[in-house]
Chains A and B, each alone.
Chain A
Amino acid sequence: MLVRLAHETDLAGFRREARALLARRVPPDRVSWSAGPCNDDLFADEAAPEAEVPESGVTVPTGFLELCHTVALHSEPQRFALLYRLLWRLVHEPALRHDPLDADMMQARQMAQAVQRDMHKMHAFVRFRQVPDGAATDPLHVAWFEPDHHIVEANAPWFRRRFANMRWAILTPRAASNGTGASCTSAPARVARMRRRPMPARRCGSRTTRASSTRRG
């Protein structure tokens, strides 16, 4: 059975679908998950027409929900399958919640770690450069960053908190976040425009290295 989620990091959709699947007692090896437009499994069946599912009252440890939030940002296509398998096992194997060394659990934790490392890299290596912005009095701060996972939106609030009163935009191959106003909008059109003009990532960094040499590591 194929379950389709609205976008790459659609955790709310995953939770809704997973609850429904659990209520219908669909084991994890009979479900395949697809997030985003183009990575469908060729041999999967379409999902059965959705019936209204009563609240199943599944409870999981609070730590698991946090883990889901992070793992959902990973770029691994099987991430939702892993999460559903863990959820299934948490419901059916009560001992799992006390076992920090379980193989599935370890894998999920390692994926979460990779995501967190990537998020940290974004905090650590984004370097803004000032560009004049037409009539505006204060300059726009622009940065280019290439993340490994789907972390841009999750990281935007951190930049908004740090540079609350500054006009900035971070451009990435997949999305852009900007902190000009209170809200963060994805602006794919703008990214495309910036990418057509050559804007090497290196130059953003090298502008900032006069005081002490900065390098990616």
Chain B
Amino acid sequence: VDLQAKLAILADAAKYDASCASSGGVRRDSTQGRGLGSNEGTGICHSYAPDGRCISLLKILLTNYCRYDCLYCVNRASSNVPRARFGIDEVVRLTLDFYRRNCIEGLFLSSGIIRSPDYTMEQVVEVARRLREEHDFRGYIHLKTIPDAAPELLQRAGRYADRLSINIELPTEQGLAQLAPEKDVAAIRRSMARLRVHIDDAKEEAAQAQARPVVSLPQARPARARPASFAAAGQSTQMIVGADATDDATILSTSAQLYGAYRLKRVYYSAFSPIPDASAALPLKAPPLVREHRLYQADWLMRFYGFAADEIASPHAGGMLRLEVDPKLAWALAHPERFPVDLNRAPRELLLRVPGLGVKAVDRLLLARRVRRLRSDDLQRLHVPLRKVLPFVVLPDHRPARSSEPLRLAASPRVAQQAALF
């Protein structure tokens, strides 16, 4: 099989991995080195996968041969997809070549499990090592780690990668036992905890090194080795949504727990997509993609807007997010007693709960109202969706009509639906 064909197979096999951010990490560039690459927070974008995702990393599997038989996975042992395997140097060469043409921000490398978890992890780490040490590559590297691999290997992976991730796969333990019997929740969580310790330690060391005063002879340049970084962009995970019957409330509480316990940077939600020749244990239909979207919105509410998981979707109210309105609007409609909010007086926490106001808009409003009273044309200039915001706020020149407006908003959701052909 030639390289082109392998690339086609192994890039396609990696498309189910949703994580493709390349932000965070240590700022660096190649001006003082012999290789190439930089990591400064901005960079290339907009290489699109056929399903519409925008990917800035060369996202490939080292191999799609796999010993495991996880029912939801297209690369499971019993699947009949064409298989291929990259050599380590092939991946290194591909990465450098794409990077030189400014087509990628870096490498996302995952792999099916061959021989043993340790053997596979070694191969993955070796790619990163060659890129970093032999080619002085300073771009972004994201490695998918294998939870059953030896802790030393995880530690080595963290030395070379900007971000590490371990897939939690399914939101519940029962789901995992049912669909991916070879995977072990305990091992996954143990590895996440280990990574967290390493990441925290490296941060601590860096902070201490920063704080210690430089002692040096006069005239001598204060030079001190920087402590080694460990996955400076943190760790993330991915969860498949809709492969089992788990409701949104459970998914969000699992996420909240992951964010809290392992300080993850991101939890990615991936709407289950029916794979060719799927197992009979799986649902035939994909969940609506908008469900994935609502989960991401809810995730943002938890991380940046001060919402708790059970406020957004509680098991008492059916446990599912509403698909026709976004979770923040849904919360506001369910809590009419908290509105309208006086934009000139309300504290930040309350402003963040107003539908249509984002974090930046809220911060601007807070700044502006220190010098004068806010009026409705201020909102207009902020470019916030007035139709959404106005029913929930009070301004000197605006008072919402009593209760009718929000109800109308809720009653007439404009859902665009594609017409069916048959």
Contacts and interface: CB of A to CB of B under 8 A. Distances in A.
Interface of A: 95, 98-101, 103, 106, 120, 123-130, 141, 143, 158, 160-166, 207-217
A163 B36 contact: yes
Nearest to A160: B31
A211 B46 contact: no
Interface of B: 4, 7, 11, 29-31, 33-38, 40, 42-50, 55, 58, 98, 100-103, 364, 367-368, 370-372, 378, 381-382
12 contacts: A123-B42, A124-B45, A130-B100, A162-B29, A163-B30, A164-B30, A208-B98, A211-B11, A211-B47, A211-B103, A216-B46, A217-B46
Contacts of A123: 42-44
Q: Is the interface of A mostly helix, strand, loop or mixed?
A: loop
Contacts of B382: 101
B98 A211 contact: yes
Nearest to B4: A210
A126 B49 CA distance: 19
B107 to A, nearest CB: 12
A101 B103 contact: no
A67 to B, nearest CB: 15
A215 B364 CA distance: 35
A50 to B, nearest CB: 37
Q: Is the interface of B mostly helix, strand, loop or mixed?
A: loop
Instruction: Across the A-B interface, give the 9 residue pairs with the lowest CB-CB distance, nearest first.
Output: A161-B29, A162-B38, A164-B30, A124-B45, A98-B371, A164-B31, A208-B103, A101-B368, A128-B101
B76 to A, nearest CB: 24
Contacts of B50: 213
A161 to B, nearest CB: 4
A214 B31 contact: no
A98 B101 contact: no
A143 B100 CA distance: 12
Contacts of B4: 210
A170 to B, nearest CB: 10
Contacts of A124: 43-46
Contact of A141 (B98, B100, B381): B100
Contacts of B367: 98, 100
Contacts of A216: 46
Report which residue of A128, A207, A212, A217 has the largest number of chain B beta carbons within 10 angstroms of its beta carbon.
A212
